[in-house]
Chain A
Amino acid sequence: MQKIVLLGDEAIAQGAVDAGLSAVYAYPGTPSTEITEYILRSKEAKNGGIVASWTTNEKTSMEMAIGTSYAGKRALVTMKHVGLNVAADAFMNAAITGVNGGIVIVSADDPSMHSSQNEQDSRYYGKFAQIPILEPVNQQDAYDMMSYAFEMSERLNVPVLIRITTRLAHSRAGIVLGEKTPQNELKLPKNSRQFVLLPGIARVQYKSLLANQPLFEKESEEKGYNMLLDGKDKSLGVITTGIAYNYLMENFPEGIDFPVLKIAQYPMPLKMLREFYDSVDEILVCEDGYPLVEEQLKGYLDLGKTVHGRLDGALPRDGELNPNIVAKALGHEIVEQYETPGVVTQRPPALCAGCPHTDSYTALNVVMEYYGEGRVFSDIGCYTLAALEPLESINSCVDMGASITMAKGAAEAGLVPSVAVIGDSTFTHSGLTGLLDCVNAKAPVTVLILDNGTTGMTGGQTSQATGKIEDICIGLGVDKDHVRVINPIKKNHEENIKVMQEEMEYNGVSVVIPRRECIITLGARIRASKKK
């Protein structure tokens, strides 16, 4: 059988293309970015007329997908886990509208926070919305589940959430491709009020979502992604969710004697769980995420059988799993032959040599020396690396857009001047509304919008802000005399300091836009044009 080697992310993308996808909308975010990147690159997708685009944020992505669904076609939305917070309003309500064309949402979690500010577990969102969740165990599953997810979404009138974690997203394996489904024809919803969530309508639709719960459970029971694997040693039973199954099996190269309940689809298959529970003495739950299944199994009072996992310390309470951590929980001995020698020094990520942000911050550091430390609210992107040595320029990074609004809150609490530093892509993602708040309140904040012309941190995707930042700021009501563009290069150091200082002296909202292209995208552009 012919196999192609794909990242977990790419397997999802190809799976969606083969499942009759009509549109993918996404805002980039590690470890989800490669899904939409793959579809953007795919000739097959282009020839098939599949719409693939980066959007301003996850909420707009999610809503566009609901629109695609309304028109009868299949839509995919991809995001990193925290993106689902941003999309949550649309996501939760899509569970109530149901679908016309199928909707699949992929949320990529990042346990151990390799590239994230938290390690929230997206399965809670699926449970919260009371929709089916799929959690592929391996890359082949990830591919296969896409056609199933779209088919189930349409058959059961519900969006489907696919939850993956970093290791699956960013690991390659050989994939066997399946059959291709054609795209849906354009067709309006049969019920013209399906997408009108007025209370009277929403109440009816919510009841129908609740009434469908047993059908969702039946799918979990019967589809075959969840499996009850019997074993002769009943002293322990192991429940695995998603890729934790692989870490378990890695520890039993000759096969496992304990019964295993392998979970890859939710809601939990309660019949299977009951049978498993009754057959074993104790239980170990392995989840690459929060202890969601474990907590439910224990219940508040923990009155049943002994359940081991993240809650009783058998597994660490946080961080991603790996074969060794699971081995320890099983009481297996870990072979560690060599220790890491003491000379090995930490090598944290840093801004690239020649990065425009470095010049912006060197100037800002001089200005802030005058006003005193602790006043620079920043945001998420490459420029967040300035929190570390040697620059140590910024004092916060909380969530996309929070720089501007935190600066406003601090300024209004008396910390004047307060400064916000935000990237161009982050600005259009979530900064605009906060800037309008500042304008309306005439807050004494200075906002630096670092315009490197790209979404740098996630690998240089197009930025929706490009070419529009001054107009946006002026349109939102910032005085045009206080929207200043500077060029962050060494030669302009003194001049840039002066501009920043002038704007900080202004008692109102001011915006300074240091504009110079990211070195990496610039290099790629030059290489591409040389080729031509």
Chain B
Amino acid sequence: MTSEPIISTNDLNLWYHDTHALQSISMTISKNQVTALIGPSGCGKSTLLRCFNRLNDLIDCVKIRGEILLDNENIHAAGTDVVMLRKKVGMVFQKPNPFPKSVYENVAYGPRVHGIKNKGELDSIVEQSLRDAALWDEVRDRLHDSALGLSGGQQQRLCIARTLAVEPKVILMDEPCSALDPIATAKIEKLIDALKQDYTVIIVTHNMQQAARVSNYTGFMYLGKLIEFGQTNQIFENPREDLTENYITGRFG
């Protein structure tokens, strides 16, 4: 598996006030691969994920040191367009959070914000995004119904479609299946596998089997540090660090 890097962090540190939430994280995310972040609650997975599209900027007390490169460009460089950054690096959250609008409007929203006005063009983006999110067949006849009428799993795929509509390079997913049943979860996992054709996916999950199933690389975090990072089969079959071993075999705490 040879793969070129798309994101890399170099000695990345983050504080919330005095809480040193990320401690000297250096890692490389490979393009068109799925990378999973695992670790006990509070270890900094969501915080790290939010660094990649600067969502932490929205939190007042945050201080960040160190480097994050996206396609070799420092995302904290002066003059970085944060709106463009978030277009390139999209995010799907734990709880499906569709806008209280129609299915169509949910997906068309992003492209509109980025200046696409033409109805035909929007129609085709909406259809393609919904197809890519494996949702089209289920909603093609109810595009103008409220998105809130969809099932949880459908809402989550709608949120993925919404992310895809602005043609990101990287998709961040923070526990995208934790509110879903096993069937909806299986659909999202299948989708993640398909997405890596065109996108790079970074997923946070508490479900170790899920991380093992969907990802190519896995990072194990503990108390703000990246303890081990490697190919997923190596991490789950033969981890190098005792901490990783203890965590994934449930011998923790």
A, B assembled together: no
Interface residues of B (CB under 8 A from A): none
Interface residues of A (CB under 8 A from B): none
